[in-house]
Structure 1
Amino acid sequence: MIAETVCSAVSAAGLGIAVVTAYRRRFLAAARIAAYALVPVGLVMTGVVGWLSDTAFSPTAWAGFGVLAAAWALFAATRAVERRRGRAGADAEHAAAAGTAAARPAATAPVSSAPALRRGRGKGQEPGQVQGERPASGDDFSDIEAILKKHGI
């Protein structure tokens, strides 16, 4: 009962502000304010306000929100552990739990592009290494560097 009265008062105040705004010849803003002012009355008429007020004062509803928060925290914690461990570790754990060996092979080194293979190798270079290029130090950007050099960037 109190929630419905408050919503009605808010709507009446909003419609009053819309009338004053329209009097100042700002009709677009007045129409927008009137639309916002009608929302609380619409919520009261549909019963949403009554449902929300019943939920807000219900201990069972608050316990339900607590259970949902705990479930969300568990999901977030497992995602954080999965990201930290890496996707391969999670797949291996899933395969081990199913009773099979891990289906994913170990990561392999990136393959050089065809133009890089056609260029000659210098003395002491590896088969996939371009002449004049320093040996790969195991960094993650070697394939990106090769693509940029290929396009002359």
Structure 2
Amino acid sequence: MTYNDIAWLPLCAGLTAVGIGLGYLAFRRRGVTAGLRATAWSLLPLAAYLTGALQTLWNIGAAVVGFVTGLVLSPAVWAGVVLAGLSALLFVVSGTLRGRALSRARTAGPEQGGAAAAPERSGAPRTATPKTGQTGKTAPRQVEQPAADDFSDIEDILKRRGIS
């Protein structure tokens, strides 16, 4: 059935007439607000026909129905949907595996060659721990405690840049 196979003017005029009748009943039973709202809705079919919007709505509806029936009944389209789903699944799995690999690299120790084997973030190079002469054990490292109020590095940079 095409758009031209239907007698749209009598159909739209009939819908508008029935709607105005129902609008009158709504006015009598529920008040002015309900009656005006029902009348406003009932005028839309005739307005759509007279402005040409009804044919546009018909074309949109026909396109949507054609798309849905083509989607449901076409094996090629379903193959495309399956491939798109598989692609999305592979993206999720690869992201998960990558995240696990990165977290393992962060927690790996220096003997495993992980991120902990790289120099510390402070920029100071790592030094080998000296062994004591008698026991062969490693001597305890002396760790510098950064002072929270030590801004001497920042002050030096500012002085070199000419900022006081």
- The reply to whether TM is greater than 0.5 is no
Higher relative contact order (CA 8 A, sep 6+): 1
Q: Which has the larger radius of gyration?
A: 2
